[in-house]
Structure 1
Amino acid sequence: MCGIGGFVDYEHDTRGYGPVAERMKRTLAPRGPDAEGQFCDLDAMLVHRRLIVIDPDGGQQPMTSSDGNTVLIYNGELYNTEDIRHELILRGHRFAGHSDTEVVLHAFLEWGTDAFPRLNGIFAFAIWQKAERRLTLCRDRLGVKPLFLAHTGGGLVFGSTIGTVLCHPEVEPVIDEDGLRSLLLLGPARPPASGVFRQIDSLLPGHYAILTPEHYTDAAYWKLEAHEHPDDLEATIERTRELICDAAQRQLVSDVPLACFLSGGLDSSILSMLAARDYAARGETLHTWSVDYRDNDKYFTKSSFQPNSDNAYIKMMADTLHTAHHNVVIEPEALCAALLPATDARDLPGMADVDSSLLLFCAEVKKGGTTVCLSGECADELFGGYPWYHREEILFEDTFPWSRSVGLRLGLLAPDVVRDGSAFVREHYLSTCRRAEKLPSDSKKDARMREMFVLNLDWFMATLLEGSVAGGYGRRYPRCSRAKRKRGASAPLFCIPVKASPQSRRDDRHIIDFLRVAAAGQVVDRRV
């Protein structure tokens, strides 16, 4: 990953804000440990910290157009880089290197904001046009890469982290009543447009914003839509297989060591299988990584989220795929000691031991020489891995399924700590449900599934992806590819039983057969 930050001030000379820029870069150093850069003119200050993955020399940032007018700082990865590069070359563009950053810059020069729907990847970036005195911000469709902002008297401050935005002297670290409600009643999630602190917002996923001396605008370049699904079961299975394979293949491109997380579940097993096949074809061995905890075998208790321990399935897949496997064992004392550093890395209270274990695990992965890892995360949201997708008593509960204890939380607080807490949570829940498009042909369950799909994308998945970023390495999420989401938007429902419901063993035999081809049969049986 990388980190971006900066500000525009139409009333003051930003060249006098050098110390602010330095503080911003320090907040971004954990995201980008390899290099840094800075741009400054009368109106704008842009800073960048880089984790080098592609084109070490040609991908330096900030990156400026050949005429010197357009400056880009970019955090993310593009997975259709070569497709767009080829089209741009046919239109007369010439490239100095092979980085995706350069492709994003040229795409904007060619198509302006119409370039954004063409980008298949995870990203957040800022573009400054000197002559026009115009700042453009953009964020990927699912919001995998964060982008926070705050309006100031003379313009706007932005950054990859809340701490980056708080570096500006006009942004105060003040939490108002809405922020307190978010922390205490919705945490670790937060409203999609909120940065929790009073002045700080989050640019919504699939949106871009433009700032000029005259106005500020925010618009969507993508949104999730509901469509009738035209394919039969066999065609759906085949198309899903094609999309999973394509997404994985596109994300194996790297100029630095790449590995896979392997938990022994369906998601990471399929990705590891696809990556291992690619590596074997090149005569190379894929490295895989897993995490465990001291005495986990003694104290493990099954739950609806995890029916059994990972270890046997991890070994099974590592042996089957002939990977060079690494297992990191975390000590309970270290896990507790990392709770506060993990909170600092997120900038907000988060998922406690989930965040701290991720912080420690990723630090070990980085020490082991791996810079980029493929992760199976996001598949549970898209393919129905959570209990609330298939247990109807949870599915039809009229609230956030992972945060059903608002009354309990309120009961722990003094009466005057937060006001109208239940109404606050209720309105955020209902507004999210209203954003879910429905079809006239939807049954009651289908309509609720679509609401649950949006609730997961906007809230639960975002919370998981905002986990620890300290560690100086990059995670890739093939399940977040544009092609898969486009298909899933029209038919998330068919695949809900694939991962979780015992009924799928009888009703969706063809899907299970497909998964048996993709991964060891025992791993499939583990989940279904």
Structure 2
Amino acid sequence: MCGICGVYGYHADEPVDQHLLTAMQQAILHRGPDDAGAYTEGPLGLGFRRLSIIDVVGGKQPMTNEDESVVLIFNGEIYNYRELQAQLRQRGHTLQTNSDTEVIVHLYEDEGVQCVHSLRGMFGFALWDKRRQRLLLARDRLGIKPLYYTIKNGTLIFGSEIKALLQHPAVQPAMDHSALNLYLGLRFIPAPATLFRDIYALPPGHILICERGTVRIVNYWHLSFETDPSEQRTIQDYTDELEALLQECVAMHLVSDVPFGAFLSGGVDSSTIVAMMSQFLNEPVKTFSVGFTEPWANHSELAYAEIVAQQYQTDHRNIYISPNDIHNLAAEVIWHLDQPIADEATIANYMVSKLASQHVKMVLTGEGGDELFAGYGRYDWEKRGAWVRRLSPAMRAAVMGMLSMLPETRGPKIAWYALSQSDEAMRLRNWFSLFNSDMQAALLEGSMLAALSRKTPTEMFREHLANCDSSDTLSRMLYVDTKMWLPDDLLARGDKTSMAHSLEARVPLLDHKLVEFAARLPSDLKVRQSERKFILKQTSQRCSLKQLCTGKSRASRCR
């Protein structure tokens, strides 16, 4: 896990300003305090900050092939790198290190831009092909690792965080009003937009290719939810395969040359990860949880986390959030995020990452379980709520009026308003609304108000829905969440808050093989008789997690 940055003047001959490259590296120092490296060649400059996790001695970057015709800077982890090393040796390659980074260099020699298909992991990297004068940027399939870019006067500027791009004198910070519209409607900003005008997030599962004076972006991964209706399989068959995949993914994510642990919320996702880690390790798993002091103590789930910690005899630590922490940390957290994410879990992520970083350099987390296996309340509401749209408009309005008069009914009001929409994209968009269209119109004026007629959240949903190959309602919701909510809220804040403390966070549930398996599962194995994450809970019970599978966690109730 590291930070990368770079500049490529593909329409220029002037050499890269070394001081500029250093400033860009310094802006992301927190992502890689262990080492730094740079490569320059005429108008190309590649910068790197390293957080050493695998092959601490040999994994220095930038990394090249033997004749230095291929140069790579890489942020992330490749979990199948040992398998790829063996394949490369069979093809005649000589590997100089034991790092996962080197396999990408040699895979590119053999496979070109198609090398991304061989990678199983999380990554954002830049690769320079000297012979072809080609710069390649690539981001992992799910968007676990970030990568941002802008183009100014024939110069491509990129980095793991927006703050690195802002060091370039040609990049002046200005708000993109249409992105503000997306934020107010969704609580996050979906790729490729950012809150900064002309700065873009490379979408998950995409590569950017800059060569011969042109820049093009290519999608290299499609998530299919298409199921085979003729397939005859039992619940036992599915749980057997899921358990095997979970064990494989957790085992692959444990490869590390430094101390590691796990975030433990007490929900079924993180608890399953900890249970499986305990099976593979010969020492107690180091676990970290976050709770709340008064007046929020009743929102704390530490009791659930401590049940799991005791059951698996983990080396467990807690940290508590107080109202003062929210006030004192707000500016610091916002600086690390680069752009706003209206998610109440952000401060919690930040503080538990700080706690973990005092004891380990890497953690496994349970992120992704809700999006893979349908853990949020809106999935159940949507499945059961079609009858709402069969009511007359007057009846729906009357119920909404009654809900508005009741205190503490925000959740039911959102659900009723969303379920009342006959248009699918409008309905899904309303599950996320921070401010509806009327509220935004009242809040904004002038050029900002005009931006409301540009790219809208509903249009974003409509575009993603058009790419989904399933007609099943739940599958379409999960597809959109995997494409928007997961990378641009959960994974974005997870990366920024952990890397703020130089802590690598790995997400075994988002191994793309597991994601593809989950997508093809029949919907009734995800939500069955209002029980969400049905198949994951069935599988987790094999790890003796019955108490957690029958209990409710706040994470599974919200959204």
The Cα of 1:360 is off from its aligned counterpart by 2.2
- Please say if residues 192 and 459 of structure 1, whose CA atoms lie closer than 8 Å, have aligned partners that are also in contact: yes
Q: 1:16 to 1:157 in 2, by over 3 A?
A: closer
CA distance in 2, matches of 1:178, 1:4: 28
Q: Shift of residue 513 of structure 1?
A: 4.5
How far off is 1:262 after superposition? 0.9
Deviations 1:493-516 (A, max 9, x none): 243226xx64579xx6x8754332
1:300 counterpart = 2:292: no
Report if the CA contact (8 A) 1:184-1:409 is conserved: no
Asked if the contact 2:134–2:210 (Cα under 8 Å) also holds between the matched residues in 1, the reply is yes
Correspondences of 1:208-219 after superposition (within 5 Å): 208-219=207-218
Task: Tell me the equivalent position of 2:348.
Answer: 357
2:261 to 254, 259, 262: 259
Cα separation, 1, equivalents of 2:348 and 2:509:
22
1:472 Cα deviation from its structure 2 partner: 0.3
Matched, 1:425 2:457: yes
Which residue of structure 1 aligns with residue 105 of structure 2?
Answer: 105
Alignment partner, residue 436 of structure 1 = 468
Of 224-233 and 474-483, deviating more is 224-233
Aligned to 1:399: 428
**Counterpart Cα distance in 2 of 1:186 and 1:172:** 26
Which stretch shifts more, 473-482 or 313-322? Answer: 313-322
Would you say 1:146 and 2:146 are equivalent positions? Answer: yes
* Cα deviation 1:220-242 (Å, max 9, x = unaligned): 21111232243432211111111
C-alpha distance in structure 2 between counterparts of 1:103 and 1:62, whole Å: 13
CA distance in 2, matches of 1:331, 1:295: 7
**Partner amino acid, structure 2, of 1:347:** D
Q: CA deviation at 1:431?
A: 1.5
- CA deviation map 1:459-485 (0-9, x unaligned): 211211111231101000001102101
- Aligned pair count reads 503
Q: Indicate if the aligned counterparts of 1:247 and 1:479 stay in contact, CA closer than 8 A.
A: yes
Answering whether residue 501 of structure 2 is matched by residue 458 of structure 1, we say: no
Q: Where do residues 124-523 of structure 1 align in structure 2 (5 Å cutoff)?
A: 124-187=124-187, 189-229=188-228, 230=231, 231-280=233-282, 284-295=283-294, 299-300=297-298, 309-351=300-342, 353-367=344-358, 369-392=359-382, 393=385, 394=415, 396=419, 397=421, 398-400=427-429, 401-403=431-433, 405-407=435-437, 409-410=439-440, 412-416=442-446, 417-419=448-450, 421=452, 424-438=456-470, 442=471, 446=472, 448-462=473-487, 463-467=489-493, 468=497, 469-491=499-521, 493-497=523-527, 502-503=530-531, 512-523=537-548
- The answer (yes or no) to whether the contact 1:341–1:356 under 8 Å persists in 2 is no
CA shift in 2, pair 1:356/1:92, >3 Å:
same
Q: 1:512 to 1:357 in 2, by over 3 A?
A: closer
Distance 2:344 2:253 in 1: 29
Rate the CA distance shift 1:107–1:484 in 2: closer, same or farther, 3 A.
same
Number of the residue aligned with 1:64: 64
CA contact (8 A) 2:239 2:538 kept: no
> Take 2:156 and 2:148, find their aligned partners in 1: how far apart are those partners?
11
Instruction: Tell whether the 8 Å contact from 1:273 to 1:321 is kept in structure 2 after alignment.
Output: yes
Cα distance between partner residues in 1 of 2:27 and 2:532:
47
What's the secondary structure of 2:443's corresponding residue? Answer: coil
SS at match of 1:30: helix
Code of the aligned partner of 1:259: G
Q: Secondary structure at the match of 1:3?
A: strand
Q: Secondary structure at the match of 1:196?
A: coil
CA deviations on 1:348-389 (whole Å, 9 max, x unpaired) are: 11236522232222112111x210000001111111110111
TM-score by length of 1: 0.90
Greater Cα shift, 127-136 or 64-73: 127-136
Q: One-letter code of the match for 1:127?
A: L
| Counterpart residue type for residue 226 of structure 2 | H
The CA deviation at 1:492 is 6.1
Structure 1 unmatched runs, 5+ = 302-308
CA distance in 1, matches of 2:367, 2:98: 28
Distance 1:511 1:470, change over 3 A: closer
Residues 238 and 24 of structure 1: is their aligned pair in 2 closer, same or farther, counting only changes over 3 Å? same
- 1:248 CA drift (Å): 0.5
Work out the CA distance in 2 between the residues paired with 1:233 and 1:169: 58
> How far, CA to CA, are the matches of 2:312 and 2:492 in structure 1?
30
